[in-house]
Amino acid sequence: MFAAGTDTTYTVLDWAMTQLLRHPNAMKKLQDEVRCLASDKTKLTEEDLVQMHYLKAVVKETLRLHPPIPLLVPRESTQDVKLMGYYDIAAGTPVIINAWAIGRDPKSWDQPEEFIPERFMSSSIDFKGQDFQLIPFGAGRRGCPGTVFATAIIELVLANIVHQFDWALPGGVTGQDLDMSESAGLTSHRKVPLLAVASPKE
Ligand code: HEM
């Protein structure tokens, strides 16, 4: 529970902030939404997030490009299966699902390598396991039981930090200079830690 729940959640926040710093227009749009809908508050709660559709789109887009468990959890077929009419998977075969590649598949996504949260503003695609082009939490009976909790935490933290602070990269670094390398392993972190400077909003 601790391993599955902490590493993953902070990794998504790390990538979300990385993408927002690389895309100042998206950062501004998110800050405008959050600051407009919660202008009189200093600390946002879950109820404040309900109308924040761009915030939810930013989180979905981050999970599409950077699923923190890129190959999900390895499974084993319990019986012989014929998949899509022509793949024979024998009982006992280990099955690895590449959610990272699925999230960047050009057959499912326009400009798959680009960070475009707007793609989710007019789409019903969600990560709850019904839409197989977006499965950062897996799907089916053994899909992640922490999905709702994780997304609530991610949205809450992200909304609060962009509400309270303006963000910049230190030392004249531009968003396009940011190293986007991913670490190898069960979870996929930034290889180089993200350094960002927070200043209280004006
Ligand atoms: C962004 C955050 C998270 C992501 C992307 C994520 C992703 C996943 C994935 C891909 C699986 C395997 C699903 C499969 O094989 O189909 C999984 C399993 C699991 N997750 Fe998460 N998870 C996240 C957060 C959490 C949190 C916050 C908790 C608990 C508080 C949690 C608890 C678990 C547990 C217990 C399992 C094992 C379920 C089983 O095997 O039956 N996860 N998660």
The residue type found at 164 is Q
Cα(132) to centroid of ligand 1, in Å? 16
- State in Å: Cα 147 to ligand 1 middle: 7
CA 143 – ligand 1 centroid, Å: 7
Give the mutation target among 7, 12, 144 for probing the ligand 1 site: most ligand atoms within 8 A of CB. 144
**Residues 101, 121: Cα–Cα separation, whole Å:** 22
Per-residue pLDDT of the chain (202 residues), as tens digits, is 787 888 899 999 999 999 999 999 999 999 999 999 988 888 999 999 999 999 999 999 999 999 999 999 999 999 999 998 999 999 999 999 999 999 999 999 999 999 999 999 999 999 999 999 999 999 999 999 999 999 999 999 999 999 999 999 998 899 999 999 999 888 899 999 999 999 998 7
pLDDT of residue 200: 93
pLDDT at 181: 96
Ligand 1 atom closest to Cα of residue 12: 1
Ranges of H-type helices in 66-106: 99-103
Q: What is the pTM of this model?
A: 0.96
What are the DSSP E strand ranges found in the chain?
75-76, 81-83, 87-89, 94-95, 165-168, 197-200
**Which residues' Cβ are closer than 6 Å to ligand 1?**
1, 4-5, 8-9, 12, 68-69, 72-73, 136-138, 142-146, 149-150
- Total residues found in the chain within this entry: 202
